[in-house]
């Protein structure tokens, strides 16, 4: 109880002694970068409050209020004795309260310090009004009054009410509108125009009549105001990007009511719609939620921020912010594992790593997503296809401490434990990170290795913690980017027509946590970066929904849309990067004896040695890797025919490969073939000299 009275006392003292019009902080209104209203927050009095100076209030409003509420306002000292006597006589005559005598000053005091309607309550109110008049001018009292006045439907002050009811500022209301607003002051509930417009209009006519009687308007203006149609707009209060608004609100300066955010309203709406539609489509696989973050790389501005599929979905905890929730990113951290190895000149994109069943320190024994091993593979393939064992071997080379340090520099500050807590499993995403931070870390790759704090408003001082800094060399970032945008390199795991395949240059990576509890998909171009999370806030696992099938399709649709709205140019190769021919078998620069070669990118100062024919790769037996015997596939009528291809892959042949399908020679001698699928039962054979391997598979209609 003491706290209540103390707050009342402090509030009244603030009103009396402050040079400011108000002690309340303004309610906050958030707009997108084009000025579209996105979200409003109430003041501490749970009202929409937008304070203005007296100069920003129409003279018609001043005249209307004075005429209707306190005609001797400019002559009394806070209490109107004549009005009190008149009210006593009228109330006694009628046997009930039919008239009040409160001045504007008294009404202001009552609004700040509500009192019981008793003799003592009225006496205290009158005393405080007299005191207030000693400390403030009439103009200051009017300004406070017009800002404090509650006019229904959560509007506080004439500015908020003018905007809500008529869509204009308080300075621009007409005579008719001013009389209408002034009429609401008597009882905002009884005269609520959204429920009782007839009452409100009747009260407006009374106010106009009082203005005419007191000489504020003449007969002509009176008649004009009566004939003016009153079109109530009842402006809708938008509730968009609620999670972003919650993130931004604490950062808005106390004295600020309007803030322009970095959001793009159209992009935000599209991202929300796409997240909802894909979550609905995945509901059969126990998927209930998704989150999206889209960043403009150059500035760090957040263009779209979707915290959940549906904020109002109580059943699926839609009010949790998935963009800031801590989740395990799975393979989404692998680009930083290899980036650190490139940075330390431990590996190149062409270096060979053996993907085999391996026990690491502490008995750690990771498995690949496809539950198979792929032998000696180049780093490019290992990262693009997201093989786990090569990534852990790379982390073993760099050390967990160095990897943890890089991830923290990239903004993943939620990784607060000691390196030993995570161990080598950190390379596979066993630490918890936020989608918001992870997306910005990928944006650092897009910027050529430069980290920037995320910007939330067009006011540059409103951003998330951190400072601009270089975390990777430009050449390192490009080598990682070149791998992540190599659709051919990832085709062995995801196919050529995966959701990560788009008709423009885009680097992309997915990640799936243990037991399918979370999956991520991230992508970037030089201009923008997208991060997507899919999963359940209660941490229940999805039904084998991976990054490529869960978050991937959302990412794909968003990428197509964002590229149309914010077109991005192709990546530019830095001066420090060159292209060289590599021996497939050794991962070294091709020598004269190398039969199978390909081109790859390298940092100019750290090219591999030249291959002299003494290959480091183990001898691999000739075998047909894909497809497997008795595999069954299905034609999808919803996908373009040219995009439906089956990967044939063999290995271990030092000569040309010979492919035979259904007893007919197929026109290819490559190790890998992408065959346009045909419905039916098929026999596939691959030959290497005198050796051959044969399997049978079927494509269903």
Q: What is the pLDDT of residue 18?
A: 46
Mean pLDDT, residues 339-346:
96
Q: Determine how β-strand 691-700 pairs with β-strand 631-634.
A: parallel
Angle, to 10 degrees, between the axis of helix 197-213 and the axis of helix 175-184? 110
Q: What is the pLDDT of residue 221?
A: 95
Handedness of CA 460, 464, 468, 474 (dihedral sign): negative
Q: What is the pLDDT of residue 618?
A: 53
- Asked whether the whole model's pTM tops 0.85, one would answer no
| Distance spanning both ends of the chain, measured CA to CA | 77
Q: What is the pLDDT of residue 640?
A: 67
Identify which of 295, 304, 237 has the alpha carbon closest to the alpha carbon of residue 264: 304
Which residue carries 């026109």 as its tokens?
667
* Mean pLDDT, rounded, of the chain: 88
Mean pLDDT, residues 464-469:
89
**What kind of fold does domain 2-25+43-227 have according to CATH?**
Penicillin binding protein transpeptidase fold (1.10.3810)
Contact between residue 181 and residue 191 where contact means Cβ atoms under 8 Å apart: no
Q: What is the pLDDT of residue 576?
A: 95
The band of 280, judged by pLDDT with boundaries at 50, 70 and 90, is very high
Q: What is the pLDDT of residue 134?
A: 84
Mean pLDDT, residues 658-673:
89
| DSSP reduced 3-state for 11 | helix
Pick the CATH number of 623-700 from 3.40.50.460, 2.60.40.10, 3.40.640.10, 3.30.465.10: 2.60.40.10
Q: Determine how β-strand 664-666 pairs with β-strand 691-700.
A: unpaired
The band of 84, judged by pLDDT with boundaries at 50, 70 and 90, is low
Mean pLDDT, residues 653-674:
88
- Domain spans of the chain, in order of start: 2-25+43-227, 266-565, 576-617, 623-700
* Better pLDDT: 351 or 113: 351
Angle, to 10 degrees, between the axis of helix 104-112 and the axis of helix 119-135? 110
Structural tokens at position 663? 């007893």
CA distance 285 to 627: 27
Tell me: pLDDT of 568 over 80.
yes
Handedness of CA 269, 271, 272, 276 (dihedral sign): positive
**pLDDT tens digits along 124-167:** 777 777 888 888 888 988 999 999 889 999 999 999 999 999 98
Tell me: pLDDT of 98 over 80.
no
Q: What is the pLDDT of residue 199?
A: 95
Q: What is the pLDDT of residue 634?
A: 84
Q: What is the pLDDT of residue 273?
A: 97
Contact between residue 90 and residue 99 where contact means Cβ atoms under 8 Å apart: yes
* Better pLDDT: 97 or 660: 660
Q: What is the pLDDT of residue 86?
A: 55
The band of 23, judged by pLDDT with boundaries at 50, 70 and 90, is low
Tell me: pLDDT of 559 over 90.
yes
The band of 92, judged by pLDDT with boundaries at 50, 70 and 90, is very low
**pLDDT tens digits along 352-371:** 999 998 889 888 999 988 88
Tell me: pLDDT of 262 over 70.
yes
Tell me: pLDDT of 123 over 80.
no
Whether domain 266-565 has CATH 3.40.710.10: the reply is yes
Query: CA-based angle 293:298:302, to the nearest 5?
Result: 25
Task: Note the maximum CA span of the chain.
Answer: 122
**Percent of the chain residues past pLDDT 70, beyond the cut:** 90
């Amino acid at each position: 109880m003491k706290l209540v009275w103390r707050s009342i006392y402090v509030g009244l003292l603030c009103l009396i002694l402050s040079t400011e019009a108000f002690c309340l902080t303004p309610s906050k209104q958030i707009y997108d970068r084009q000025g579209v209203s996105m979200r409003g927050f109430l003041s501490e009095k749970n009202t929409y409050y937008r304070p203005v100076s007296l100069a920003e209030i129409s003279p018609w409003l001043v005249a209307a209020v004075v005429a209707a509420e306190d005609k001797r306002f400019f002559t009394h000292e806070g209490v109107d004795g004549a009005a009190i006597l008149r009210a006593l006589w009228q109330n006694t005559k009628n046997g009930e309260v039919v008239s009040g005598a409160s001045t504007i000053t008294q009404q202001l005091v009552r609004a700040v310090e509500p009192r019981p309607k008793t003799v003592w309550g009225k006496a205290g109110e009158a005393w405080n009004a007299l005191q207030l008049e000693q400390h403030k001018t009439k103009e200051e009292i009017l300004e406070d009054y017009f800002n404090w006045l509650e006019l229904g439907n959560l509007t506080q002050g004439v500015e908020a009410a003018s905007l809500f009811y008529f869509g204009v500022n308080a300075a621009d209301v007409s005579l008719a509108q001013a009389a209408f607003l002034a009429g609401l002051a008597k009882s905002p509930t009884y005269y609520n125009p959204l429920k009782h417009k007839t009452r409100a209009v009747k009260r407006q006519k009374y106010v106009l009549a009082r203005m005419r009687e007191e000489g504020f308007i003449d007969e002509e203006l009176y008649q004009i105001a009566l004939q003016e149609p009153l079109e109530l707009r009842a402006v809708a209060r938008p509730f968009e990007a609620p999670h972003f608004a919650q993130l931004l609100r604490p950062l808005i300066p106390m004295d600020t009511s309007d803030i322009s955010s970095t959001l793009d309203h159209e992009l935000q709406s599209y991202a929300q719609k796409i997240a909802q539609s894909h979550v609905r489509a995945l509901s059969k696989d126990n998927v209930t939620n998704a989150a999206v973050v889209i960043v403009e790389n150059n500035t760090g501005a957040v263009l779209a921020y979707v915290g959940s599929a549906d904020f109002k979905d109580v059943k699926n905890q839609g009010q949790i912010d998935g963009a800031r929730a801590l989740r395990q990113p799975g393979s989404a951290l692998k680009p930083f594992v290899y980036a650190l190895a490139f940075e330390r000149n431990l590996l190149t994109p062409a270096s060979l790593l053996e993907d085999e069943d391996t026990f690491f320190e502490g008995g750690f024994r990771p498995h690949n997503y496809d539950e198979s091993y792929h032998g000696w593979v180049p780093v490019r393939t290992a990262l693009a296809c997201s093989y786990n064992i090569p990534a852990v071997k790379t982390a073993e080379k760099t050390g967990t401490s160095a990897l943890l340090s890089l991830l923290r520099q990239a903004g993943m500050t939620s990784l607060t434990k000691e390196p030993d807590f995570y161990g080598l499993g950190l390379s596979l995403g066993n630490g918890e990170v936020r989608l918001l931070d992870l997306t910005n870390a990928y944006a650092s790759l897009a910027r050529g290795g430069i980290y920037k704090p995320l910007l939330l408003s067009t006011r540059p001082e409103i951003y998330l913690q951190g400072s601009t800094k270089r975390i990777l060399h430009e050449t390192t970032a490009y080598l990682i980017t070149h791998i992540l945008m190599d659709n051919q390199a990832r085709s062995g795991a995801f196919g050529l027509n995966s959701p990560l395949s788009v008709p423009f240059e885009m680097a992309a990576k997915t990640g799936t946590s243990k037991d399918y509890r979370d999956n991520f998909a991230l992508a970037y171009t030089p201009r923008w970066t997208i991060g997507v999370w899919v999963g359940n806030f209660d941490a229940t696992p999805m039904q084998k929904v991976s990054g490529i099938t869960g978050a991937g399709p959302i990412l794909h649709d968003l990428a197509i849309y964002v590229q149309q709205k914010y077109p991005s140019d192709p990546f530019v190769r830095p001066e420090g990067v060159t292209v060289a021919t590599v021996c497939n078998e050794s991962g070294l620069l091709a020598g004269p004896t190398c039969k199978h070669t390909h081109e790859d990118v390298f940092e100019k100062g750290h090219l591999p040695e030249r291959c002299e024919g003494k290959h480091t790769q183990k001898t691999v037996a000739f075998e047909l890797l894909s497809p497997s015997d008795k595999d069954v596939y299905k034609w999808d009528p919803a996908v373009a025919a040219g995009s439906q291809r089956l990967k044939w892959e063999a290995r271990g042949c030092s000569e040309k490969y010979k492919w035979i399908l259904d007893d007919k020679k197929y026109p290819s001698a490559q190790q890998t073939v992408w065959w346009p699928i045909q419905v039916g039962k098929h026999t596939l054979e691959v030959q290497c000299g005198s050796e051959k391997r044969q399997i049978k598979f079927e494509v269903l209609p």
